[in-house]
Every structure is written in structure tokens, then in C-alpha cells.
Chain A
Amino acid sequence: MKKKSLLLLITIICLSLVLAACGGNASNEGKKGNEGKSNDTTDSADAPKPVKLSILAWNNEKEMKPVIDGFKKKYPHITFDFQFAPPVADYIKKLQTMLLSDTTPDIFMIAAENRNEIIDGGYALDLTDQPFMSVMLDSNKPMLSKNGRTYAFTQTGWAGGLFYNKQLFQKAGINQLPETWDEFIQACLKLKEAGILPLYDRMHDITIIHSAMFGSNVLSKDPSFDEKLFKGEATFAEGWTEVLTMWKEGLIDNKILTPDMIGMTSDQVMNEFALGNVAMFPGGPWNIGTIEQTNPDIEFEIMAIPGKEPGNKYFNGAPGVGFAVSSKTKNKDEALLFLEYLSTHDGLKQFEEGTGGIITAHGYETKVHPAYEPAYKDGLMAGRIYLPMVSWDRHQEALRNQFLVGFQDIALNHITPEEATAALDKKLKEMDNK
């Protein structure tokens, strides 16, 4: 009985295997048949293999949806594993973890804050010779380059300046925008005399005013100053002492800016401006919507920071973060296709629509808010923007923190501008020798 059961079991198994094999053949044949049929209409032998591209962005999925949908429409065989981390610190930490654990996404973003580490670590593909790079503005390239090679593609940029309230300026009798630093200080004092708070500036970071002042006073004379500084041919003392002295004498000593502003937040500063409590504040395109929402009646516009001599006006600003391709990607062609799509008119339009970023690519015209036009035309598109962290060659974060502490101490009259710049030179030396 036992033998019979065993035989029956073996027979059943054998039969099942035979049937399964037949079934397999049948389905394979079926597939072949289908392929044959599809060959009649499209050439499926050449049809691209489905590919899943991984991407880590600091624009969220909603913001990136239009550009991703546009790309998928053009390349239906490519899908996305989309990951998001908010800028800046969270994004940098997440990317750093992925780089160190060999889980780098195919496409990621390079910012001013992590460009050195990514480029020096060989994590990003060299994109210099890719045809789509011709769309990128030359002024956008240095932030994402090293030794003349560019490692990411950016199609955006931003500029910040001083927003001023036109009604309050008129009330104080200021009918013309200041052309020089002295005129700017005079305008501030005129506002003060009229009982109007001239300017609020939160002092929690290198300010828009400092950056633009450096542009209008130092870079307008010597555009390669930072290059020299990091080659050891110039010092912070030579470049920044005069700027910080002008800032202190003009704004701190005249009590236009007061040390209590160190405790203010960006939102507080912006709200005070929107409510008409202060005539000027440093801001950028990200503020415009909220100002108008808070006070639809306000008449305002952005202006540059003038230098000592007339004609030298600068804004603060930088290129937007760049899209890079991982040097270890297994989907290099598809990742490059995505970057290429970003550079097309359709890609630029979708990116602008989704993220609200200001497109600064060749052959694409962005329509900006009228209040922002001076920054867009005279700053961004004219290349008269400056942000130290983008221009400084190395140790940006350490120098940024030292700078911040330095100018706060100047505002409190704890140190002189000379001492602040000496501390910056010391910090650079210390970081180079670490």
C-alpha cells in the first residue's frame, strides 16, 4: 500500500513537471507570437528596456511633478524612485549618509554648501562636455566647477537686495534712489528724521547687505579677489576691512542698524516691512508673495546696494543648486537624458511652473514680478551678484560662522573691523593646517 502511494505521488509530480514545462513553452511561444505581432507595428526589438532612475531632490515631489511628468511623457520607459529632503542642512545630511553607505541616487543636487566635498570625493560625473551644458549661463558654472570642469547642471539663479517702501520714501522726501553708499546713508538718516524706521536687518547670517557691499566695493574693482584670497595672494583684511568699516560707521554708528536686531527672525523683519513699520529690509524673490498677501496696498520694489563710487551697484545672489549624476550610476544614459530634458524649453518651462524658480538659462525668458525686475535685470542677468559661500574656494562653512560671529561682535562694539578680518585670516590658516 505504501509502495503504491509513493508511486502515485511520483507519477503526479512527474506529470505536473511535464505540464508545467509545456505551459512554460506555451507562454513563451505566446510571448513570441505577441512580439511578432508587435513587430508589425513598432520595432520592439529596439524598444528601450524599462529603467528606474533614483533621484534625491530638495524640491518636493509636488514641485518636481510637472518636470517629471513632462520627462516621462517623452521617455515612457523611464520611471522614478523619487526621494526628497528639505534644504539645506537636512538635504546635505541625507545625501552625505547615502554617499557614505554606497546608496547614492542616480541623480542628486549639488549646493554651495557641499560642492567641495562632492567634487573632491569624485561622487559626481564630469558634465563639462555634455551638449546640454551650453544652455547653462557661464556665470552659473563656477559654483559647480573645479579646475575648469563642471559637475552639475543648473538652470536657475536668485538675487537678493533691499526692498524699499515707495510710499515711505516719498513721505521722507526721497525722490531718487541712492547712487552711492554715502547717498544711501543720507537717505536712511532722512527717513529717521521723518520719524520712519529706515532699515531692519536680521543678523543671523552673512547678510545681503554685506555680500552686496563687497560686490560693489571690491569685486567691481577686482573681480578675481576671492581667487587671489584662496591662492594666498590676498587676505580678508585687505578685502573686507574697508567694507566692514563702512558698514559699521554708516549703519551701526548712526544707529540705523542696532544690535538688538541680532535677535530678530526673517519672518519678523519681513512682516514689519509688509505692515509699513519699516522703510527697507533685505530680502529676495521668496518674500514677494507673503508681502503682497500681508498688505495688498503696499508699493514696493527691490534695489541694489551702492558702492563708494557711483555706478558700482551690486545684489547678493547665486546660481541655484545644480543637478548632478552619480559617478557610480548604472543608468548613466538615462540620468543624462533627464538632465538634457531639464535644459530643453519644455523642461525649463515645467521646472519653472513647478518650483517657481527663476530660470536663468540661455534662450529662455522668465517673467518676474515687477517689484523684482531690477534684481533680475541688473543683478542676476548682468552677473552683478555675489554670495561669499559660493565664491569662497574652501572651508565655506567655517569661514561663514567666523564671519557671522565677527560682525555680530562689531555690532556690539566688542571688536573692531580690523580684529574681525584678522580672525577670518586666522581661521582660514587654521582650517588649511587642520
Chain B
Amino acid sequence: MTKFVRQLQFLLFLLPILVIYSLFTIFPLVKAFFLSFTNFNGYSKVFDFVGMKNYVRIFADDAIISAISYTLFFTFAKALLVTVLAIPLAMILDQKFFTRNLHRAIFFFPSIPSGLLLAYIWGFILAPMGSGVFNTILKGLFNIGPQPWLADPLLAKLSTIVVATWAITGWHAVLYLAFLQSIPKDYYEAASIDGANRLQQIRFITLPLLAPAMTISIMLLITGGLKVFEIPFALTKGGPGFETYSITQVIMLRGISETQYGLASAMSVVFFLIVLAIAVFQVTVMQRREQSMQ
């Protein structure tokens, strides 16, 4: 009885957050699932059930097919680049040098402003005219003519990935830094006495002990990458053609702009399942890797 009362007390404390979570997360999810079987247009409260029609339409939509391919490319390229850059950066920032805190702040700063704001600034840097900042530098240093950074399909994809990587690398470096600081210095001293050089220490001590940080960092990069919207939208509006359309942009376009809420809800449901499947797969694989490395 006492145990039951104690548990009830815990449950009572959890109740407010459970109500808020249900109201703002579970309810919209269930509602989106329900609307995905209707032709709701966002204005009229009268709508019909259309069965699986919206789900069939998703795979006939050129924009969504292109968006899935771009979003996956963006996600994995960004995750790879950030990981490759953030770990060495974290190791450098972990060293003792005079301006260490200033450098940590400088690298962390790009992750603070909104992606939209950063992208607008980069829009000027990558402007395709000869007077664009990047093109002016290229002309001055290497006598290379103006490049269509945001208009050529491949360059536009690469530009959005570079800007997104630049924006978030410092944040992930700080995450790795926190894990680096928890590695006991004794390990390195022992390895050094045994004759291990710096590279061997990184290979056999640092990287295995950073495995949990990599699981978290890559999971955040993948889920964040799949949900990307601001940076490609502000830089290219999804163009040229459908080349840099992200999945979230298509959902917003079909739902809000074209008032096809039923179709957009079906896209959201499919998108939710894709993100869930990839995130679960990635975490499972990386946790196994953690165990095998330790």
C-alpha cells in the first residue's frame, strides 16, 4: 500500500509534463496520422476519407523523390564532414594554449544564430555575380571567373552542405571536448611509458573512449540532417529545379502553400517512420560498436 502511494506521488509529479507532452506532441502526431487519410485542405472543416490515396500520391511526386535523395545526401555528407572535422578540432581545443577559451567560443559561436540568418549572410558570400564575396576572392587570388555557387545543381548541393557543416562543427567539437576531458590522463601517461606515439594514443585510447560521444553526435547529426529546412531554403529556395528541395520543405509546400494538408500529413507520417528507422538503426549499430571497442 505504502509502495503504491509512493509510486502515485511520482506519477503525480510526472502528470503535468505528461499532459503537456501529450497535448503538443502525441496529439498532433495522432491527428496528422488521422488527416493523412483525408482530403483536408486546411480551410474547410468538411472533408472526406480518401483511404490510402495520399500515400500512393507521395511516390508519384517528383519533388518528394528528389527531396528524399537530396536530404539523405545532405544528411550523410554533413554527418561525415562534421565528425571528421569536429574530433580533431576538439583535440586541438583540449590542448593548453593562451587563447584556448577564446578559440572555443569562436568555434562554438556559429551554432548560436538561427540557420536562416546564417544562410542569408552566406547568400551574400556565395552570390553568383562577379561582385559576390567568394567570387571576388577567387578572381583576386587565382584569376578564376565567377562560379554559380547556388545555381549549378552540384555546386548548390555542396554549398548548402558546406554552410551547414561550418555552422555546426564547433557545437559538436564542444560535445567531443566534454568527453575528451573525462578521459583519465593516466591512460596517456601509461601508454607513453610503454612507448606509444601520439597517433597510437589517439588510435587506441582517444577514439575508443570517444565512441559514446560519436553515437550521440552522429545520432543528432542524422536526425537534425533529415529534418533540415532553413539553410537550403534560405540559400536556394530548393532550386535549381527540385535539386535542393528538402523533405520538410516539400511537406510545408504541399501543406501550407498548396493547401493539400491530407497529402502533407501522409508525407509527415512517412518521414517520421524514415527518421525513426534510421535513428534506431544508427544507435543500435553504434552501441554495438562501442561495446566491441571497449
What is A's interface to B at a CB cutoff of 8 Å?
89, 92-93, 96, 99-100, 117-118, 120-121, 123, 200, 203-204, 258-265, 268, 272, 277, 395, 397-398, 401, 404-405, 408-409, 411-412, 414, 434
In the complex, the answer to whether B240 meets A412 with C-beta atoms within 8 Å is yes
Contact of A409 among B123, B240, B257, B263 (CB under 8 A): B240
Please encode chain B, from 113 to 128, with 1 for each CB lying within 8 Å of some chain A CB and 0 for all others.
0000000000110111
Contact of A264 among B129, B153, B257 (CB under 8 A): B129
- Min CB distance A116 to B, Å, is 9
In the complex, the answer to whether B257 meets A401 with C-beta atoms within 8 Å is yes
Instruction: List 9 tightest A-B contacts by C-beta distance, closest first.
Output: A263-B150, A260-B148, A260-B128, A262-B151, A117-B43, A263-B151, A263-B128, A260-B151, A398-B258
Known: A260-B128, A268-B127. A434 touches B39 (CB 8 A): yes
In the complex, the answer to whether A263 meets B43 with C-beta atoms within 8 Å is no
Alpha-carbon distance between A397 and B63 when the two chains are bound, in angstroms: 14
Main secondary structure of the interface of A (DSSP, over half): helix
B69 touches A (CB below 8 Å): no
In the complex, the answer to whether A262 meets B242 with C-beta atoms within 8 Å is no
- Min CB distance B152 to A, Å, is 7
**Which B residues are in CB contact (< 8 Å) with A96?**
42-43
A406 to B, closest residue via Cβ: B241
B89 touches A (CB below 8 Å): no
Alpha-carbon distance between A118 and B260 when the two chains are bound, in angstroms: 15
Most buried by B among A117, A272, A434: A434
B259 touches A (CB below 8 Å): yes
**Which A residues are in CB contact (< 8 Å) with B128?**
260-264
Known: A259-B152, A263-B149, A268-B129. A99 touches B43 (CB 8 A): yes
Alpha-carbon distance between A282 and B225 when the two chains are bound, in angstroms: 36
Main secondary structure of the interface of B (DSSP, over half): loop
**Which residues from 154 to 174 on chain B have a C-beta closer than 8 Å to any C-beta of chain A?**
156
**Which B residues are in CB contact (< 8 Å) with A260?**
128-129, 146-148, 151-152
**Which A residues are in CB contact (< 8 Å) with B263?**
434
Alpha-carbon distance between A398 and B131 when the two chains are bound, in angstroms: 35
- Min CB distance B137 to A, Å, is 17
B45 touches A (CB below 8 Å): yes
Known: A121-B43, A412-B241. 16 other contacts (CB 8 A): A92-B256, A120-B43, A260-B151, A261-B151, A262-B151, A263-B156, A264-B128, A268-B127, A272-B131, A405-B239, A405-B241, A405-B242, A408-B240, A408-B241, A414-B241, A434-B57
Alpha-carbon distance between A263 and B258 when the two chains are bound, in angstroms: 24
- Min CB distance B35 to A, Å, is 12
A205 to B, closest residue via Cβ: B237
In the complex, the answer to whether A262 meets B256 with C-beta atoms within 8 Å is no
**Which A residues are in CB contact (< 8 Å) with B150?**
262-263
- Min CB distance A371 to B, Å, is 24
Alpha-carbon distance between A272 and B124 when the two chains are bound, in angstroms: 13
**Which B residues are in CB contact (< 8 Å) with A120?**
43-44
**Which B residues are in CB contact (< 8 Å) with A405?**
63, 239, 241-242
In the complex, the answer to whether B151 meets A272 with C-beta atoms within 8 Å is no
**Which B residues are in CB contact (< 8 Å) with A117?**
41-44, 259
B236 touches A (CB below 8 Å): yes
Alpha-carbon distance between A414 and B66 when the two chains are bound, in angstroms: 15
Alpha-carbon distance between A89 and B127 when the two chains are bound, in angstroms: 25
B60 to A, closest residue via Cβ: A430
In the complex, the answer to whether A265 meets B123 with C-beta atoms within 8 Å is yes
- Min CB distance A252 to B, Å, is 13
- Min CB distance A97 to B, Å, is 10
Alpha-carbon distance between A200 and B206 when the two chains are bound, in angstroms: 53
Most buried by B among A93, A100, A260, A412: A260
15 pairs, CB–CB < 8 Å, chain A vs chain B? A100-B42, A117-B259, A120-B43, A121-B43, A260-B129, A262-B150, A262-B236, A262-B240, A264-B127, A264-B129, A397-B257, A401-B63, A409-B240, A434-B260, A434-B263
Known: A260-B148, A412-B241. A100 touches B43 (CB 8 A): yes
Alpha-carbon distance between A203 and B128 when the two chains are bound, in angstroms: 13
In the complex, the answer to whether A397 meets B259 with C-beta atoms within 8 Å is yes
Alpha-carbon distance between A258 and B42 when the two chains are bound, in angstroms: 38
B15 touches A (CB below 8 Å): no
Please encode chain B, from 52 to 79, with 1 for each CB lying within 8 Å of some chain A CB and 0 for all others.
0000010000010000000000000000
**Which A residues are in CB contact (< 8 Å) with B129?**
200, 260, 264, 268, 272, 277
- Min CB distance B179 to A, Å, is 39
Contact of A263 among B39, B236, B241, B257 (CB under 8 A): B236
B253 touches A (CB below 8 Å): yes
**Which A residues are in CB contact (< 8 Å) with B256?**
89, 92-93
**Which A residues are in CB contact (< 8 Å) with B124?**
268
Alpha-carbon distance between A258 and B152 when the two chains are bound, in angstroms: 11
**Which B residues are in CB contact (< 8 Å) with A277?**
129, 131
**Which B residues are in CB contact (< 8 Å) with A434?**
39, 57, 260, 263
B156 to A, closest residue via Cβ: A263
Contact of A259 among B237, B240, B242 (CB under 8 A): B240
